[in-house]
Chain A
Amino acid sequence: MIEGILIGLTTALTLQNILMVMVGCFFGTIIGMLPGLGPMTAIALMIPITYGFDPATGLILMAGVYYGAVFGGSTSSILLNAPGVPGTVATSFDGYPMAQQGKAGKALAIAAWSSFAGGTLSAIYLLFMAPSLSKVSLSFRSPDYFALMILGLTAIAAFSSKGQFLKAMMMVVLGLMLASVGQDSLSDITRFTFDNMNLTDGISFVLVVMATFAMSEALTIILKKNDPTSAAKQVSLTELGSIKINKEERSKMYKTIPRSSIIGFLIGVLPGAGATIASFLAYGMERNVVNDEEKEKFGKGSVNGLSAPETANNAACSGSFVPMLTLGIPGSGTTAVMLGALLGFGVQPGPRLYMTNPEIFWSIIMSMYIGMVILLILNLPLIPYIARILAVPKNYLIPLILFFSVTGIYVMSFNNFDIYLMIGIAVVATFLRLYDFPMPPLILAFVLGGLMEENLRRSLLLSNGSWEFLWDRTLTLCILLTTILIVVWHFYKSIIKK
């Protein structure tokens, strides 16, 4: 492991990669502050830039954007009660009341230090857990992988759908259907191409991401007459106050941060869960753990109430890298985008990644530490300046998003058909978004489609076409039972709600 850490440090500490972490964090913070534009859009827009880099640098850039966006989302949560990303909703519960009491600077400082500590601690957990899990996952067989993918897709549908499980499952199926277009990987037989040569190689992953996120989000903003930059304009006018944290507040944070980072990391590791659930769970747990006097302060500007979700959401970001790096199965829509980009580089993430491409594996982990320091430096003193950059009117922002989307496809294929297809998918996605059909399950399914078919093929061939492989191995059975548990729990929760 020491050798790996050194390889990672050597790669991460090159001038180019440090610069990429800085660019990623800066860009991510800006996008994260804009309500409606999440980390997936930010990462999707970065894809064309990564074409010019090696895989490690490309992924370091995207990882920087990811935790930058989560970090930036807390700013609009605290100052405006308008969370930039869903993962920072719980931050507003105590962050916004604190800002209203004239302690906005202090709230931002607590959020920044908690994010820093959460991200750093979870990067340490990742450092120790990822190689061990990689070794364990070497024993995984095709049925286990197939079951794990079913679990991931079901979980993301259950957790990301805000009570619309069936809609999310329809999006999962649509994603898998889109992934099935083109040549069959084993027999080279073309499927669903309708004699169109442009579809023979299948639909590009970048195209689907750009269409369903960047482009359709831009169209949705215009269609709904939203102005994501209006919140940012207010941030630049807000008086922040002192950013000093006193001894008593620090001692509260010392207790909150370790427990919230563990929750955040573990939730992040679970497929489909992620920063949003992690932050809510950490907030809830913190409320139960503290004494009655502190409990009274929750929702009115509690230090613990602000520190817990901020620690957990950043810890969950690092945790979500675990299934992607060790199993090659992304646990969230955001890491699915990164996995797709890695596959585009010709790198297959999975249990052997840390042996075959140690520089990628370790440099991402190492770059997280650098990223956390950069975010801490960026978020506190630079927030008013970043907010001014954000005050760009949407009349400029939207065409620029569309321009980045088209450029991403243009430099990849030099093909008109792909641009038309992207526009077509974006229009359908915009319409579906209007009726709350979630897009992250579609992306995750699209990325996993090929792998899922491959593992199902192997499993069925090995068991002579019998579906017994689903319960032959204890591990497969356990994963499937977990999937069933998630579905049952989800339906139970909806019945209780009614």
Chain B
Amino acid sequence: MNINTTKIISLLFFIFSAFYLYTAYQIQVFAFDENAPFNARTFPIYLGYAGLFFSGLKFVLPEPNTIKVDHKNLEYKKTAILIVIAIIYGATILKVGYFLTTSLFLFSSYYFLGERRWVLMFLLSFPFVAAFMYLLHGILDIYLRDPFLQSIGVMG
């Protein structure tokens, strides 16, 4: 049997399903519900077995069309940078506020993706976010938390 990445994913899914099944059996149900035909753990138990079944079959059965991914042609660096920027964005958005973090996120993402037209980068970050905030907060009345704008008195 050839071990390719799809088989490895199936094996990982099999292990995940086994863990899910084990956790499903650990769900604490009320004493009077313990022997009921259906309780909080019934459906997850079925799902755990279904996961084991399908991933097990996928692992065991021969692969008709093997998918080959050319890792050399994949842009891992830029993708990883974008993910890190998104994580920083997520970590700061509540404390700093929507406007500043979103504008900086967009500006830095454009930069790391290779853009160098500074005026366009600026226009598509700070004024763009301000306009979008106005649409959400000002017109559609969707609350946006922004301690930074509140501290400088722009937002009530």
Identify the A interface with B (CB < 8 A).
Answer: 48-49, 51-53, 163-164, 166-167, 169-170, 173-174, 176-177, 180, 184, 186-187, 189, 191-192, 219, 222-225, 393-396, 398-400, 402-403, 406-407, 410-411, 414-416, 419-420, 423, 427, 430, 432, 434-437, 452-453, 456-457, 460-461, 463-465, 494, 498
The answer to whether A396 and B141 touch across the interface, beta carbons within 8 angstroms, is no
Give A167 to B4 CA distance when docked, in angstroms.
14
Task: Decide yes or no: A177 and B20 within 8 Å by CB, A223-B75, A498-B64 being known contacts.
Answer: yes
0/1 interface trace, chain B 71-105, chain A, CB 8 Å (1 if under): 00111101100110011011101100010001001
The answer to whether B10 and A453 touch across the interface, beta carbons within 8 angstroms, is no
Give A423 to B85 CA distance when docked, in angstroms.
11
Minimum CB–CB distance from B37 to chain A (whole Å) comes to: 3
B151 within 8 A of A: no
By a CB distance below 8 angstroms, the chain B residues around A174 are 13, 51
The answer to whether B73 and A399 touch across the interface, beta carbons within 8 angstroms, is no
Minimum CB–CB distance from B104 to chain A (whole Å) comes to: 11
Task: Decide yes or no: A166 and B58 within 8 Å by CB, A52-B141, A403-B102 being known contacts.
Answer: yes
Chain B residue total in the interface (Cβ 8 A):
71
Give A167 to B67 CA distance when docked, in angstroms.
12
Give A236 to B124 CA distance when docked, in angstroms.
22
Identify the B interface with A (CB < 8 A).
Answer: 5-6, 9-10, 13, 17, 20, 23-24, 27-30, 33, 36-44, 47, 50-51, 54-55, 57-58, 61, 64-65, 67, 69, 73-76, 78-79, 82-83, 86-87, 89-91, 93-94, 98, 102, 105-106, 109-110, 113-115, 120, 124, 132, 135-136, 139-145
Give A479 to B130 CA distance when docked, in angstroms.
52
Contact of B38 among A419, A460, A498 (CB under 8 A): A460
The answer to whether A189 and B58 touch across the interface, beta carbons within 8 angstroms, is no
By a CB distance below 8 angstroms, the chain B residues around A463 are 37
Give A223 to B69 CA distance when docked, in angstroms.
11
24 A–B pairs (Cβ distance < 8 Å), ordered by A: A52-B139, A52-B140, A52-B142, A53-B140, A166-B61, A176-B47, A180-B47, A187-B39, A192-B20, A219-B83, A222-B78, A398-B109, A400-B124, A403-B105, A406-B105, A407-B98, A416-B90, A419-B89, A423-B87, A430-B79, A435-B6, A435-B9, A456-B38, A456-B43
Most buried by B among A395, A399, A464: A399
The answer to whether B43 and A180 touch across the interface, beta carbons within 8 angstroms, is yes
Task: Decide yes or no: A411 and B136 within 8 Å by CB, A219-B83, A456-B38 being known contacts.
Answer: yes
In the complex, the chain A residue whose C-beta lies closest to that of B113 is A395
By a CB distance below 8 angstroms, the chain A residues around B55 are 170
Minimum CB–CB distance from A136 to chain B (whole Å) comes to: 28
Minimum CB–CB distance from B49 to chain A (whole Å) comes to: 10
Give A463 to B110 CA distance when docked, in angstroms.
59
In the complex, the chain B residue whose C-beta lies closest to that of A420 is B90
Give A461 to B33 CA distance when docked, in angstroms.
12
Task: Decide yes or no: A411 and B64 within 8 Å by CB, A222-B82, A396-B115 being known contacts.
Answer: no
